[in-house]
Structure 1
């Protein structure tokens, strides 16, 4: 065929086969049918985002797409947050308008190296609501450009390819489960590019190519095997590290500069549970979230797979005791594994003003769950 878009369409179909073959490689450590089924579900979520976000990307006429939902999860989704993203052209100037909408935290992060659908190579400029002039009604306006602007300015660089927004909520229920939840947000170029042309062979091919690039980056090109550990990510299962606070997140694509993270891999037998004891530091927001190997949350519409400070029952001395278990232990602060024998426990402390306390853990047998 002479159609370029037909050729790229075939490349997308071929990539789906390549992804399937990749799950079977020994380095991916997916020996069971259920392991590979979990991987296929993740790939479908990645494809969903690739088609929605990247195939429709138009930096001249940008739009904020919602990154995650209860049915679209990747790259570390958070039940207590609403995320949006938009592609940009660093050679253009943009005006962004929005409203805090009751969020306990709002921020804008420039992702570097994402042009054409590539994975973020790190963080560029960031702005949070402490750094933005906000009106009494919660509304704000900021400019994104390479040239400095008065007032709220989000600095772009030649490597800038997209903007990610974060809106955190500490509710009794996960904010991401509310189907009516909407954060007012818009982005427009300061110079009107005029209306777009109807899609043609070239624009269709370019959209498909961006989708392929993104999907490949989160599947077959995702590293396998041992990697250099991050200070906040424990290499010992069921135990947490507690490194000093720093700004090490800026080299991690799609991370949040204002977050201090703590993470470990949990390993539980059928009749085992993990007790986690600690204290929340002084911070803007804090929660703990369970993830699978693909940094996806388990089904949180019907399972308690995360706990924020408002949802957590504290001990008389202000500390907390959480129990990670396969079934309800009959005590407060149950984190439901949904039956997964292994996964990741991931903490976020947002804008902490003090060093977080060490998270202490203890492996329990079924008879000890409630004690």
Structure 2
């Protein structure tokens, strides 16, 4: 007798071995034990998320799961934000209820192509708090359906598979480090499906298959680079930023935010080198800079300053800023701690900017000369 769930369990075990072998490919460019260990930690975080989010996903009885935490990072986590996600069935109608809870920005995005654990292929409908009728107490109610609704409508299409939420905070400390942080949020179908059945062999197999699908999509099926697609805001030159015109990009990038203008470059620094970044914040709803590794994960941020939002940034007398990436404390304001990583990614978010950001100017300096 062969259990279907047992077969899929074995497939998950086989995938773990395939992932391990994949790290050794020359195209992955991970020749050292520490680099491969970083990859395994990323795979563990991805498996953790897949098990939490996908193993018992039920679009008939949806639930908002928190995407990221200081110990679960993937797909470009942000220390200043709380994210949630839920699976949905585009043939059903739903109601989302929640509260802004003091966030400087709240949004909801329908992900396309995520049914069954697949990677988001593009952004569907989006709503931010400027586009939602919000009560005086910060409460709101959204309607999800294929049929148009008069207010607070998040449109579904046959390709809709999940909903992602974003709640940004500009605090003195990263909001994601607060263990008591809670954003009121719920999602319910408009037609009650009744209580679920006890999971059987087939249900277990389907859950494991969704875990496999997601885990594979962010590991062995992932491009050789974390964003190996042409993006004008990603610099091809280390330690330098591009400054493309504002547009309505991002919608073709799964799990991106439609309202963000991004800037990104790879930093490369020797043991005693620092990267100086000078610029100005544009007029926008929220802005921050975050350090990432090659897997778009933040370094440990509970004890290290690996990001800076506007509130945390010390400005120059003329309103500009000077930030310093370095492996050790240079003794000047706005230090971004690389945690000793000789290379990584510097990732900017400008949320709902109403003016073109200025060019970010950079130079590599000696830490001792700062």
Give the structure-2-normalised TM-score: 0.99
- Offset at residue 227 of structure 1 (A): 3.6
Task: State the match for 2:359 in structure 1.
Answer: 358
**1:253 deviation in Å?**
0.1
User: Are positions 1:21 and 2:21 aligned together?
Assistant: yes
Q: Residues 64 and 84 of structure 1 are in contact (CA less than 8 Å); yes or no, is this contact kept in structure 2?
A: yes
2:62, 2:187 within 8 Å by CA — same for their partners in 1?
yes
Distance, in Å, in 1 between the alignment partners of 2:338 and 2:130 is: 36
Partner of 1:49: 49
Aligned counterpart, 1:3: 3
State the partner residue of 1:336.
337
Q: Distance in 2 between matches of 1:175 and 1:224?
A: 31
1:262 alignment counterpart: 263
| Residue of structure 1 equivalent to 2:237 | 236
Q: Would you say the 8 A contact 1:326–1:338 is kept in 2?
A: yes
Partners of 1:229 and 1:235 within 8 A in 2: no
In structure 2, how many angstroms separate the alpha carbons of the residues matched to 1:366 and 1:261?
27
Output aligned runs, 1:215-230, within 5 Å.
Answer: 215-224=215-224, 227-230=228-231
Cα deviations by residue, 1:236-257 (Å, 9 ceiling, x for unpaired): 0000000000011000000000
User: For each residue in 1:217-264, what CA deviation from the matched residue of structure 2 results, as whole angstroms up to 9, or x when unmatched?
Assistant: 000000116944310000000000000000110000000000000000
- The equivalent residue for 2:315 is 314
Matches within 5 A, 1:72-83: 72-83=72-83
What is aligned with 1:187?
187
Report deviation, 1:150: 1.7
Residue 124 (1) aligns with residue 86 (2): no
Give the secondary-structure state (helix, strand or coil) at the position aligned to 1:135.
coil
Other-structure match for 1:108:
108
2:210 paired residue number = 210
Q: Show CA shifts across 1:120-169 (max 9, x none).
A: 00000000000000000000001000000121100000000000000000
- The 1-side partners of 2:254 and 2:30 are apart by 26
8 Å CA contact 2:234–2:265 kept in 1: the answer is yes
Q: Who is 2:297 aligned against?
A: 296
Report the equivalent of 1:248: 249
Q: Distance in 2 between matches of 1:281 and 1:81?
A: 20
TM (norm. structure 1) is 0.99
C-alpha displacement of 1:366: 2.5
Root mean square deviation of aligned Cα: 0.8
Unaligned runs of 5+ in 2: none
1:86 aligns with 2:75: no
Equivalent residues, number: 369
**CA–CA distance in structure 2, aligned partners of residues 179 and 146 of structure 1:** 37
Uncovered stretches (5+) of structure 1, i.e. residues with no partner: none
